[in-house]
Structures are given as structure tokens and as C-alpha cells.
């Protein structure tokens, strides 16, 4: 369900999409998730840690037809570029391939 939320936030889906069972695969096709992330999501229960992980990496994803979500949020004043760079520097784990 959260994967569908991300797809909608990134404008890769809409409320017209009623079947959300394939949201991870559609997110992979859109470049939001890696194949490894789809497998990991399918293999276990969805946890709060997954919300954090997906939200963090969604910031580097392009909004449909546009720039990275992080750039959009910086331009809107949600957070500063310096704050974003500082938060990225705190993460030292690799993305699931």
C-alpha cells in the first residue's frame, strides 16, 4: 500500500489505479524500486523501517516528467539543500540491488 502511495506522490499512478497488488512491480518499472527491493518487499511483512527506507530513496527518484523529488521539495522550501546533503551524509548503508 505504501508503495502505491509513493507512486502517486511521484505521479506514476493515480486514484484510478484500483488494483494495487502489483505496485512494487510497477514501482520497479518506473525506476522507483530496484529488483532487489521488490523481492525484499515481497518476502517479508512491511515494517516501519520499510517506510523510512522507501521514503529516503524516493527522494532521489524523478517525479514523472520532471526532476528528482528532493529537488522539487528543496525548490518549494520544504527543506534546504544543505539540510538534505547533511542528511545524506549520515547514511552509509547501500541500497538493496
Q: Is the pLDDT of residue 17 over 90?
A: no
Structural contact between residues 48 and 68, judged by C-beta atoms closer than 8 angstroms: no
Q: State pLDDT tens for residues 25-74.
A: 999 999 999 999 999 999 999 999 999 999 999 999 999 999 999 999 99
* CB burial of residue 58 (10 Å; 0-12, 13-18, 19+): buried
The pTM score is: 0.87
Helical ranges in 1-97 per DSSP H: 2-9, 23-29, 35-43, 48-58, 69-75, 81-89
Q: For residue 93, name the pLDDT band (cuts at 50, 70, 90).
A: confident
Can you tell me the distance from the alpha carbon of 43 to that of 31, in angstroms, rounded to the nearest whole number?
20
Q: Is the pLDDT of residue 15 over 90?
A: no
Amino acid at each position: 500500500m505504501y508503495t502505491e502511495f509513493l507512486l502517486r506522490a511521484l505521479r506514476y499512478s493515480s486514484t484510478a489505479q484500483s488494483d494495487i497488488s502489483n505496485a512494487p512491480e510497477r514501482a520497479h518499472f518506473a525506476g522507483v524500486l530496484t529488483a532487489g527491493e521488490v523481492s525484499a518487499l515481497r518476502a517479508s511483512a512491511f515494517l516501519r523501517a520499510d517506510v523510512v527506507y522507501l521514503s529516503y530513496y524516493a527522494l532521489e527518484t524523478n517525479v514523472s516528467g520532471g526532476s528528482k523529488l528532493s529537488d522539487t521539495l528543496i525548490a518549494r522550501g520544504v527543506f534546504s539543500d544543505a539540510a538534505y546533503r547533511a542528511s545524506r551524509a549520515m547514511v552509509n548503508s547501500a541500497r538493496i540491488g
